[in-house]
């Protein structure tokens, strides 16, 4: 299930400087995706990000890097701060410090409406569809910034239908009447209609039946193979590590470990201590 060319390597831990341990933030290029072999460029580079809702920080000096064309996961338990991390990238939190660079540009202080324009699409936790609009209207909303190019928007909508045939069957149905899994597909499809350079996915499998989880899983693999860069946050460690090339472990707002997904999965101590597997 993993993308081709998945590298092997040692995991790193934030707590143990030295070998095999170094801060999990900056990659040393060992997990470049097959599509971008040779490019050291990070599409998203987060350094020492701290974020709070009120006075106490929820994220503590978090660093992370997503290479262009990569598929990176952040796994962590309930309340670890996974959604908060994605909200920071999307400009939805005010109380932040540190740096979030997208394609070399600092975006941490940008207002939220500027983020999609840059090519970052965020599928938030839960299924946020417009319930009274049809499936197709929801998808077209995702292509709003490109609305003048109607032929391209139509083509992209057809691509979403090819990815999720069930949505085509239900394209005239009000999105609020769909099952949870189908609504997740709409949310996913709507984000893809933006034609993003980076897709942020917040627990796309949460609360879904195993068969739908498998469909979402396959959709993620397919769109990544198509060249899209993905940052996935998940409580479902097994799922995340089976699709992503490289993963970070977030614990109580701190990055405690990072490494190639296969290395994390194969290490029984890591599995027991951090991954709940």
Ligand X SMILES: Nc1ncnc2c1ncn2[C@@H]1O[C@H](COP(=O)(O)OP(=O)(O)OP(=O)(O)O)[C@@H](O)[C@H]1O
Q: How far is the CB of 88 from Mg ion (least distance, A)?
A: 13
Q: How far is CA 118 from CA 40, 94, 145, 228, 253, in A?
A: 21, 19, 11, 14, 27
Q: Which does 204 bind (CB under 5 to 8 A by kind): Mg ion, ligand X, none?
A: none
Span from 30-38, 82-90, 162-170, 175-183 in contact with ligand X (CB under 6 A): 82-90
Task: Tell me: does residue 76 bind ligand X (CB under 6 A).
Answer: yes
Cα-based angle 39, 40, 44 (whole degrees, multiple of 5): 110
Q: How far is the CB of 209 from ligand X (least distance, A)?
A: 19
Q: Pairing between strand 42-52 and 229-234?
A: unpaired
In the bound state with ligand X, the residue whose beta carbon lies nearer, of 53 and 144, is 53
Q: How far is the CB of 125 from Mg ion (least distance, A)?
A: 5
Mapping DSSP to helix (H, G, I), strand (E, B) and coil, where does residue 197 land?
coil
Task: Tell me: does residue 125 bind ligand X (CB under 6 A).
Answer: yes
Q: Which residues bind Mg ion (CB under 5 A)?
A: 82-83, 125
Task: Tell me: does residue 82 bind ligand X (CB under 6 A).
Answer: yes
DSSP track, 203-268: -TTTT--HHHHHHHHHHHHHHHHTT-EEEEEES-HHHHHHH-SEEEEEETTEEEEEEEHHHHHH-H
In the bound state with ligand X, the residue whose beta carbon lies nearer, of 127 and 197, is 127
Q: How far is the CB of 240 from ligand X (least distance, A)?
A: 12
Q: How far is the CB of 128 from ligand X (least distance, A)?
A: 14
- 139 secondary structure, DSSP code: H
Of the candidate residues 22, 99, 179, 235, the single one contacting ligand X (CB under 6 A) = 235
State how far the Cα of 32 lies from the Cα of 245, in Å rounded to an integer.
Answer: 9
**Interface ranges with ligand X (CB under 6 A):** 53, 58, 76, 78-84, 125, 235
């Amino acid at each position: 299930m993993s993308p081709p060319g998945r590298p092997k390597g040692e995991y790193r831990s934030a707590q143990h400087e030295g070998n095999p341990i170094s801060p999990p933030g900056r990659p040393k290029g060992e997990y470049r995706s097959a599509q971008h072999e040779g490019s050291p460029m990070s599409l998203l580079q987060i350094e020492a990000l701290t974020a709070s809702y009120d006075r106490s920080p929820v994220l503590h000096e978090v660093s992370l890097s997503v290479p262009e064309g990569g598929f990176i996961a952040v796994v962590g338990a309930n309340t670890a701060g996974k959604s908060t991390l994605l909200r920071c990238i999307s400009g939805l939190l005010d109380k932040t410090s540190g740096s979030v660079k997208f394609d070399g540009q600092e975006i941490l202080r940008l207002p939220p409406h500027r983020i999609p324009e840059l090519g970052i699409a965020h599928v938030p936790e839960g299924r946020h569809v417009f319930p009274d609009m049809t499936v197709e209207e929801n998808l077209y909303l995702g292509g709003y910034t490109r609305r003048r190019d109607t032929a391209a928007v139509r083509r992209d909508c057809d691509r979403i239908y090819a990815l999720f045939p069930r949505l085509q069957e239900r394209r005239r149905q009000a999105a609020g009447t769909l099952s949870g899994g189908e609504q997740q597909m709409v949310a996913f499809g709507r984000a893809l209609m933006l034609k993003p350079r980076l897709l942020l996915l917040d627990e796309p499998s949460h609360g879904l039946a195993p068969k739908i989880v498998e469909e979402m899983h396959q959709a993620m693999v397919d769109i990544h193979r198509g060249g899209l860069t993905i940052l996935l946050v998940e409580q479902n460690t097994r799922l995340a590590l089976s699709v992503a090339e490289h993963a970070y472990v977030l614990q109580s707002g701190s990055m405690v470990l990072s490494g190639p997904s296969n290395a994390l999965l194969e290490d029984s101590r890591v599995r027991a201590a951090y991954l709940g597997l």
